[in-house]
Amino acid sequence: MKFYEYMGYELIEKIKNKEISIQELIEASLRRIEESEHLLHSFVNISKEKALKKAKLKDKDLKNGKAIGKLYGLPLANKDLICIENYPTTCCSQILQGYRSPYNAYVIERLVEEEGAIHIGNTNMDEFAMGSSTENSCYGPTYNPWDISRVPGGSSGGSGASIASGQAILALGSDTGGSIRCPASFCGNVGLKPTYGRVSRYGLIAFANSLDQIGTITKCVYDSALMLEIIAGKDPLDSTSVDIKVDNYTAELNKRIDEKIIGIPKEFFGEGVDREVENTVKKTISKLESIGTKTIEISIPHLEYTVATYYLLCMSEASSNLARYDGLRYGNISENLSGDVYDVFSRTRGERFGPEVRRRIFLGTYALSAGYYDMFYIKALKVRSLIKNDFTRAFKKCDAIVCPTMPSTAFKVGEFIEDPLQMYIADILTCPVNLAGIPALSIPCGFDKNNLPIGFQIIGDYFDEKGILNIGYQLEQELNIYRKSAPVIKGGN
C-alpha cells in the first residue's frame, strides 16, 4: 500500500476505520524521506524519534477511545520560519544557526497540539523567504520532484517538494509575493494563500509584515480546506488577525458553481507568459465554462506597476525587520571581531546574511533613506492603493478571477540565480494578490511538453476563501489530474 498516493482526508478515514495505524503512516512517511531526500533536499531537519514517539502515543489514545484531533496523526512538514517550541528555526540563514524558539506559532498550536497532526521536520526555503526558487538557502537548493534538474519554486520550495514527492501529507508555508503559490504551481500541488488577517502570523518570523501570510500546501483542495478550517480565526496575540466568522470550508466544496461569474483579466495573459502555459490555462477556463460558469473579460490596469511596487515595499519592510539581526540582539555574532560596535554589526551581517538578503536590505534601506523616502516608498504605497482599487472594482463584476499562477513552468537550477531582475519578474502574476491582501488558490491544471506541472490561479474577494475553494474543488474533480504522482522515485510505501 503506497500511503503517499492517498489524500489526507482518505488516510484519516483509514485510521478511523483501523485499516492502518498512525505509527504505520509516520514510518512510511519517514521511509519515503529516506528514499528521496538525497535527490530533493526538501528538509533541513527531521524529527524522526519525536514523530515516532507521538505516533505510538496517538495509536494508544485512539485504541482507548480518547479524542486525538481532526487530523489523526497526519505527517506535517513545516517551513523553517514558523516557530516550534524548543526546535531549530533558522529561516535557512547562517545568522540564525542554533536558534530554538521558546514558543509555538499559533498555527502549530492549532494543527499539532490541538488537532493531532504530527510534525516530521522543517523544510528548506529561500533565506528569510526571499526568493522564488529555493536556491537562496544556507543549506543549499531544493530540487523539483518532477525533474531534479529544475527548481521547485520558492520561497516555500521545501514544503512544495515534500508534498509532491509524498514525503509529507500536509505542509505549511508562507506567502509574501507568491511563496506558496509558486512552488504549488511548479510542483503540481494545491497552494492556498488566505486573505491577509485570516490566519494569525504569531510565530512567523517576519520578512515583510504587511504582505506575509501563512498558508497551506497539500495534494488536493479538500485537504487545504480542512487545514484552513483549523488555522483560520482571530488570535489575541496577533493584532492583524481579523475577528470574522470562519466558514465550514469543507462543507462548502460541493456547492454548485454554475451561477458563478468568473473574471478573466486581459493583462494576465500578456507578454512574458509562456505559450504552453497560456494555452493550458485557457483550456481550463473552457472547462469551467463547460460546467456552467459564466466568464467575462475584466481589467487590472495597474498590473504593469505591481512588480516595482511590490519589491519597493517588501524590501523596505525587510530592511526594517532584519535590522534586529546584528549578532548582539538576535543572531550569531561573527568570530575574531575587534573594533567598535559598528564594525561588529557590519561584519556579522555581511558574513552571516546571504547575497540575496543583503541585496534586499541595501535596496530597502536606500528606498527609506532621506531624500528618497517620498520618491520611492510613499509613491509605492500610493500605487498599492490603486492596485487594491483595481481588484475592488473587478469584484463588483465577478465572483472570482482566474489566470496562470506563474508565467512559466519550473526553470533549471541556476538558470536565473545571477539575474535577480528576471527572477523578480516571475512574480508578476502572484504579487498583486499580496499587495491587495486578497486570497488566492493555485491548483494543477495540466502539464507542458516536458511533463512539468502548470498552475491555475483562482483569486477571490476579501475573506471569500470558501468561494475560491469551492471553484477549485469543482474544477479539480473535473480535471481529475491531482492524483498524478511526481516521478522522483519508484516504489516505496
**pLDDT surpasses 70 at 489:** no
The residue from 42, 47, 132, 179 that is catalytic is 179
**pLDDT score recorded for residue 425:** 93
103 pLDDT tier (thresholds 50, 70, 90): very high
| Catalytic residue list contains 60 | no
The pLDDT of residue 1 is: 61
Query: Which pLDDT tens digit goes with each residue over 185-225?
Result: 999 999 999 999 999 999 999 999 999 999 999 999 999 99
- Judged by DSSP in three states, 401 sits in strand
Question: b or e along 427-452 (b: 16 or more beta carbons within 10 Å of the residue's beta carbon)?
Answer: bbbbbbbbbbbbbbbbbbbbbbeeeb
Interhelix angle for 22-40 vs 48-63, to 10°? 160
Percent of the chain with pLDDT over 90: 90
Is 301:390 a contact under the CB 8 Å cutoff? yes
**Res. 391: pLDDT tops 70:** yes
- Asked about 179 being catalytic, the answer comes back as yes
CA torsion through residues 252, 466, 171, 5, sign: positive
Asked if 96 and 332 count as a contact pair (C-beta separation under 8 A), the reply is yes
Residue 331 has a pLDDT of: 80
Spatial neighbors of 133 by CB under 8 A, at least 6 apart, are: 126, 141, 151, 152, 153, 154, 157, 411, 413, 416, 417, 423
Confidence band for 338, pLDDT divided at 50, 70 and 90: low
pLDDT class of 337 with cuts at 50, 70, 90: low
Confidence of residue 491 (pLDDT cuts 50, 70, 90): very low
pLDDT digits (tens, 9 = 90+) for 432-473: 999 999 999 999 999 999 999 999 999 999 999 999 999 999
Return the bridge partners of 132, or none: none
Q: Give pLDDT tens digits for 243-270.
A: 999 999 999 999 999 999 999 999 999 8
Task: Decide if 11 contacts 20 (C-beta within 8 A).
Answer: yes
Q: How far is CA 113 from CA 5, 27, 90, 140, 172, in A?
A: 26, 20, 22, 31, 15
Listed residue (72, 40, 70, 38) closest to 55, CA to CA: 72
Predicted local distance difference test score (pLDDT) of residue 2:
86
pLDDT digits (tens, 9 = 90+) for 142-183: 999 999 999 999 999 999 999 999 999 999 999 999 999 999
Task: State yes or no: pLDDT of 493 exceeds 50.
Answer: no
Strand-pairing partners, residue 269, are: none
Look over the chain and give the mean of its residue pLDDT values, rounded to a whole number: 95
- Percent of the chain scored above 70 by pLDDT? 98
Model pTM?
A: 0.96
Task: Evaluate if residue 405 carries a pLDDT over 60.
Answer: yes
pLDDT at 492: 44
CA 203-208-211 angle, 5° bins = 95
3-state SS of 259-292 is CCEEEEEHHHHCCCCCHHHHHHHHHHHHHHHHCC
C-alpha 284/C-alpha 476 separation (Å) is 10
Give the separation between CA 113 and CA 391, rounded to whole angstroms: 37
- The H or E element containing residue 403 is strand 400-404
Spatial CA neighbour of 119 closest among 86, 95, 150, 90: 86
Cis peptide before 179 (omega within 30 of 0): no
Joined together, the cell numbers standing for residue 394 give: 473587478
d(CA 146, CA 452): 6
Q: CA angle at residue 129 from 125 to 132, to 5 degrees?
A: 75
What pLDDT is attached to residue 345?
Answer: 81
pLDDT, tens digit (0-9, with 9 covering 90-100), for 305-326? 999 999 999 999 999 999 999 8
Domains and CATH numbers, the chain: 3-266+395-479 (3.90.1300.10)
Residues in the chain: 493
Q: Which of 155, 162, 174, 316 is catalytic?
A: 155
Q: How high is the pLDDT of residue 10?
A: 98
Q: Is 93 a catalytic residue?
A: no
State the catalytic residue, choosing from 54, 58, 79, 466.
79
